[in-house]
Amino acid sequence: MAGIFKAYDIRGLYPGEINEDTMRRIGFAFGCYLEKDHIVIGHDMRDSSPGLNLAFSEGAQASNARVTDIGMATTPMLYTAIIDGDFDGGAMITASHLPAHYNGVKLCREKAIPLSGTDGLPQVETLYHTTNTRPEAGKGARSSMSFLPRYLEKLLPFVETGEPFRIVIDAGNGMGGLDTPRLLENLPHIDAVPMYFQPDGDFPHHVPNPVEPENTAELQKRVVAEKAGLGFAFDGDCDRCGFVDETGARVPADLVIALLAEYFLEKTPGATILYDLRASRAVPERIRELGGNPVKTRVGHSFIKEKMREVDAVFAGELSGHYYFKEMGFIDSGILSMISMLNLLTSQGAPLSKLIGPLNKYARSGEINIHVHDSPRLFRELEAAYRDGRQEHLDGLSVEYPNWWFNLRESNTEPVVRLVMEADDEPVLEREKARVLGIVRQYRLT
């Protein structure tokens, strides 16, 4: 059962790994960990989520915590509720972008600071395993409130009006279908074509994971058919956003960081912007050109949020499609990513493909995932083989040369290693990729 505790959250198969009993114990452990009085909880659209929400609340109440339930919500809405209501912590019942038969919970302290595998989740896991009996319900109080209207009040000031603009939005039957229609009612300059706005935890059309190309294929065709200027794809709990340009092409998530950097640096000249270490060299290059301060960070929302606070960054992004905003409490938000891109494009008066084109100047491998055995030995062999390069261990192993680089890291969410490479041109990329993969594949599980 310890396998349900991951690097950033708690999740597993329902009901075999995650069920009402386990969630009740998790709620109790979380309440004991916080040792605070008042938490807020929300849940996504999965069939199992309302029952798991109630079970978590019962466990938290048993720890003497007061629980306020905001009902069905996006993860950014739950984060905002923690900050706006000055709660001591919060819990979002969701499995994010995973298929329908999964569920889980994301846990936060005050100010929506996430618990992670290095801070908070190990303590909750220990309490979970030392609670061998079913928590007794009824000590703490439980109440409900609607937070959607207040959430929209918090989002609307970020919207900048401009020329009429046609877009297509694929909510993937996830939680983006809850708040996006209400937001669009207040955006008269935006002509939005909706796709799969009805929340449905069975995901009848596709898994709500915009990172995987097959999940945006229909959106890409629809953008072209509707003659739209832009397409958006949200994940299941709407804390991530994928982008499609007016030609129907997917826009690399790291290049979105560089593009939106211009928008934020115009508002805050000289500001610090974070990018994850897998991003193209074009990202820090562009941030410096704009007068900003680019700071590299390891992968993962808990690490990025911590680093943002440490260096007072105004914006951050990573290859998974998470984008982070200081002005919204350092949270990641799919809908605020959409708003920011709309603000940029309506002010620039140029199509997205034209803006992104100059940034797409290096040859890149994309993320290559490989199941391996004896990963410590693999990393040692790579370090030795590439000892003449500049090595870094911020997250896994990064090796950099003047005309190419690679990063190999162990996934925080799956039993694989992830390889990303970039070079000045395709011949260099293919040559060096063959060499690196030649070593990695010696350790591949068969």
Give the containing element (helix H, strand E) for 178: helix 176-184
Note the Cα 393 to chain centre separation in Å: 23
Mean pLDDT of 122-136: 85
Looking at residue 36, its pLDDT comes to 86
Residue 373: count other Cβ atoms within 10 Å of its Cβ: 10
Residues, the chain, total? 446
Mean pLDDT of 58-86: 97
Question: Above 70 in pLDDT, residue 204?
Answer: yes
- DSSP symbol at 147: -
Mean pLDDT of 100-129: 96
The token pair that represents 379 in the structure block: 């990393």
Give the per-residue SS3 of 19-53.
CHHHHHHHHHHHHHHHCCCEEEEEECCCCCHHHHH
- Whether the CB-CB separation of 312 and 272 falls below 8 Å is answered with yes
Mean pLDDT of 213-219: 97
**Mean pLDDT (the chain, rounded):** 95
Of 95, 85, 88, the residue nearest 60 (C-alpha):
88
Give the containing element (helix H, strand E) for 62: helix 49-62
Q: How far apart are the first and last CA of the chain?
A: 26
Q: Residue 320: pLDDT band by 50, 70, 90 thresholds?
A: very high
Note the Cα 74 to chain centre separation in Å: 12
Q: Residue 161: pLDDT band by 50, 70, 90 thresholds?
A: confident
What CATH number does domain 164-251 carry, 3.40.120.10, 3.90.1530.10, 3.40.50.2300, 3.30.1490.20?
A: 3.40.120.10
Mean pLDDT of 337-345: 96
Single pTM value for the model: 0.95
Of 82, 39, 72, 85, the residue nearest 58 (C-alpha):
39
- pLDDT tens, 8-52? 899 999 999 999 999 999 999 999 999 888 999 999 999 999 999
The boundaries of every CATH 3.30.310.50 domain in the chain are: 363-443
409: left (phi over 0), alpha (psi -120 to 50) or beta: beta
Q: Residue 2: pLDDT band by 50, 70, 90 thresholds?
A: very low
- Whether the CB-CB separation of 41 and 24 falls below 8 Å is answered with no
Q: What angle do CA 290, 257, 199 make, to 5 degrees?
A: 150
The token pair that represents 163 in the structure block: 């020329």
Q: Residue 1: pLDDT band by 50, 70, 90 thresholds?
A: very low
The residues pairing with 232 across neighbouring beta strands, listed in sequence order, are 169, 243
Question: Above 50 in pLDDT, residue 94?
Answer: yes
CA-CA distance, 152 to 431, in Å (whole number)? 51
Rounded percentage of the chain residues whose pLDDT exceeds 70: 98
CA-CA distance, 409 to 418, in Å (whole number)? 5
The boundaries of every CATH 3.40.120.10 domain in the chain are: 2-145, 164-251, 253-359
- Catalytic status, residue 63: no
What CATH number does domain 363-443 carry, 3.30.310.50, 3.40.50.2300, 3.30.365.10, 3.40.50.300?
A: 3.30.310.50
Tell me the backbone φ, ψ of residue 103, rounded to 5 degrees. Answer: -155, 175
CA-CA distance, 121 to 6, in Å (whole number)? 8
- pLDDT tens, 373-409? 999 999 999 999 999 999 999 999 999 999 999 999 9
50 prior amide bond cis, ω within 30: no
Question: What long-range pairs does 308-315 form, CB within 8 A, spacing at least 24?
Answer: 308/274, 311/272, 311/274, 312/272, 313/271, 313/272, 313/273, 313/274, 314/264, 314/267, 314/268, 314/271, 314/272, 314/273, 315/257, 315/260, 315/261, 315/264, 315/271, 315/273, 315/274
Rounded percentage of the chain residues whose pLDDT exceeds 90: 91
CA-CA distance, 27 to 63, in Å (whole number)? 8
* Single-letter amino acid code for the residue at 35: E
Q: Residue 133: pLDDT band by 50, 70, 90 thresholds?
A: low
CA-CA distance, 240 to 317, in Å (whole number)? 10
Helices (H), 249-300: 253-267, 282-289
Q: Residue 132: pLDDT band by 50, 70, 90 thresholds?
A: low
The fold adopted by the segment(s) 253-359 is: Alpha-D-Glucose-1,6-Bisphosphate; Chain A, domain 3 (3.40.120)
Catalytic one among 49, 63, 96, 340?
Answer: 96
What CATH number does domain 2-145 carry, 3.50.50.60, 3.10.180.10, 3.40.120.10, 2.40.50.100?
A: 3.40.120.10
Residue 316: which residues within 8 A CB-CB, separation 6 or more?
A: 257, 273, 274, 275, 297, 304, 307, 308, 323, 324
